[in-house]
Structure 1
Amino acid sequence: MSLEKILSISGKPGLYVLKVQTRTGFVAESLLDGKKVTVSLKSNVSLLSEISIYTYEGEKPLAEIMQNIAKKENKGQTISHKEDNATLLTYFREVLPEYDEERVYASDVKKIVNWYNTLQAKGLLVDEAPVATEETAPVAEEAAVEKKAPAKKAPAKKAAAKKE
């Protein structure tokens, strides 16, 4: 599942989709009500693709955890994020048995469950495309470079002062 353009903005409820980057920040669209908001660079913003969950072996990316939930629920809705903490932690242990219980809190699990249900309701939980291997990655880069047209320079304007 692609979480590349999905954002969580501190202080604002729900998730957002990155629409346009501006000089002073960016414009994002809420997944809850579809309203567009401008977000400054000073805001605390997290891309879901950059979030990981602590496990005893290291860290697991959020996308992998979302896939585990989707498998468990047959890509349907999961339990509500408003369940009590014990129920949420028990459920999360079924999804990710090796999560670090000392570093992952019930509030973290609530967010993950809420995010999953939001993304599932909007139909944004799709399987990821196969990842390029090391052998095919350079070929793809070369193809991208070949398609790029050479940049044309604009003719320089001459500043000629006319005296009359």
Structure 2
Amino acid sequence: MGLEKILSISGKPGLYELSAQTRGGFIAKSIIDQKKIAVNVRHNVSLLSEIAIYTYTEEVPLGTIFQKMFEKEDGKEAISAKASKKELEAYFSEVLPDYDSDRVYQSDIKKVIQWYNLLISNGFTDFSVEEKDKATSEEKTTSGEEE
């Protein structure tokens, strides 16, 4: 399962895994307690694979940031999202040194760290799936052009 199946639903705590599609939306399963909920078009939903963090030069995908955190922590959880503002900013600047401090707020940093810790504590460790998907689609494009 990659980040393209992991959701953040505004107004609902934690993260959810996309389970099935319905007529008016889809079914999502909580990563924390495995409870299923129905999600419809009124909910504001974000796929983690579509989220990126601003830097001074580009937008870095969340999967890349998670992978850097994973390598930094040797596969363990990061600092607590309840740490002080200075600790959070210092930690995040170690992971992503050129993040745009004017456009990335403390609440964003907290959320990224919270999500990372939640995923790690629930056994999710493969954050590089997006790159594999891109490589696969590029191979298909290249092989299609050769024919």
TM-score, normalised on structure 2?
A: 0.89
| Equivalent residue, structure 2, for 1:81 | 81
* Percent identity between the two aligned chains: 51
Q: Which has the larger radius of gyration?
A: 1
Is the aligned partner of 1:34 residue 2:37? no
The answer on whether the counterparts of 2:64 and 2:128 sit within 8 Å (CA) in structure 1 is: no
CA contact (8 A) 1:16 1:30 kept: yes
8 Å CA contact 1:20–1:27 kept in 2: the answer is yes
Does residue 14 of structure 1 match 2:18? Answer: no
Q: Secondary structure at the match of 1:110?
A: helix
Greater relative CO, 1 or 2 (CA 8 Å, sep 6+): 2
SS at structure 1 position matched to 2:136: coil
> Gaps (5+ residues) in structure 1?
142-164
Q: Is the 8 A contact 1:7 1:45 kept in 2?
A: yes
8 Å CA contact 1:2–1:63 kept in 2: the answer is: no
Aligned residues: 141
Specify the alignment match of 1:101 in structure 2.
Answer: 101
CA 1:51/1:106 → structure 2, altered by over 3 Å: closer, same or farther? same
Partners in 2 of 1:95 and 1:28 — Cα distance?
Answer: 30
AA aligned opposite 1:24? G
Counting helix residues as a fraction of each chain, which structure ranks higher? 2
Distance in 1 between the 2:40 and 2:137 partners? 36
CA contact (8 A) 1:75 1:120 kept: yes
Is 1:132 the counterpart of 2:136 in the alignment? yes
CA shift, 1:139, in A, is 7.1
Alpha-carbon shift at residue 128 of structure 1 (Å): 3.1
Deviation at 1:122, TM superposition (A): 1.1
